[in-house]
């Protein structure tokens, strides 16, 4: 998914703190490397499951209902659809086709048909 400017800024600060300022990582690795954003204290890439564990720890600490990290993607899609972002745009952001998006996230648009008919009725009344 594309990132907001605030997220990009936060990731750059995090990379500075965890990679560039880390004395355990050699200069060539900092300059060339995989452009990792976060590494272990030993300067090694984090195992993918670590992200889920860290996310779960944060969710628990905040007293929020437990969801999987991947569910954040679903939440973003649902919120965008409910905010009337065009489904073709949301599909593009997620890397889905509009058909896949709409079959997966139909629950996010429970009143879409009724709302569309209300718009159409208004257009007919106005003579547009």
Residue 80 has pLDDT above 80, yes or no: yes
Residue 31 lies in a domain: yes
Which pLDDT tens digit goes with each residue over 15-34?
888 888 888 777 766 665 56
Q: Is 121 found in the same domain as 76?
A: yes
Both 118 and 88 in one domain: the answer is yes
The tally of domains found in the chain comes to: 2
CA distances from 56 to 3, 10, 59, 64 (A): 21, 20, 5, 10
Looking at the structure, do residues 77 and 38 belong to the same domain, yes or no?
A: no
Q: Indicate whether 80 and 35 sit together in one domain.
A: no
Last residue of a domain, one of 19, 36, 61: 61
Per-residue pLDDT at 22? 81
**Domain annotation covers residue 66:** no
Smallest Cα–Cα separation from 74: which of 57, 94, 103, 92? 94
Token pair for 1: 């998914």
Over residues 45-71, the mean pLDDT reads 92
What is the reported pLDDT for 32? 56
Is 10 part of any domain? Answer: yes
Does 11 lie in the same domain as 52?
yes
Q: Please check the confidence at residue 61 and state whether its pLDDT lies above 90.
A: yes
Segment 46-74 shows an average pLDDT of 92
The angle at the Cα of 104, spanning 100 to 105, to the nearest 5 degrees, equals 115
Give the range of the structural domain holding residue 114, as residue numbers without chain letter. 71-126
Name the nearest CA neighbour of 74 among 46, 93, 58, 52. 93
Q: What is the dihedral of CA 117, 90, 6, 9, to 10 degrees?
A: -170
Lowest mean pLDDT among 18-27, 87-96, 117-126: 18-27
Q: Poorest-confidence range of 12-16, 17-21, 52-56?
A: 17-21
Radius of gyration of the chain (CA): 21
């Amino acid at each position: 998914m594309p990132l907001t400017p605030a997220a990009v800024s936060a990731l750059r600060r995090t990379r500075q703190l965890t990679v560039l300022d880390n004395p355990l990582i050699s200069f060539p690795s900092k300059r060339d490397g995989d452009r990792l954003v976060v590494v272990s204290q030993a300067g090694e890439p984090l195992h993918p499951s670590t992200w889920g564990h860290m996310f779960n720890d944060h969710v628990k600490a905040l007293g929020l209902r437990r969801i999987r990290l991947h569910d954040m993607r679903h939440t973003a899609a649902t919120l965008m659809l409910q905010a009337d972002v065009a489904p073709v745009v949301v599909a593009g952001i997620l890397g889905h086709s509009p058909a896949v998006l709409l079959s997966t996230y139909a629950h996010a648009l429970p009143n879409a048909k009724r709302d569309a008919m209300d718009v159409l009725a208004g257009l007919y009344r106005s003579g547009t």
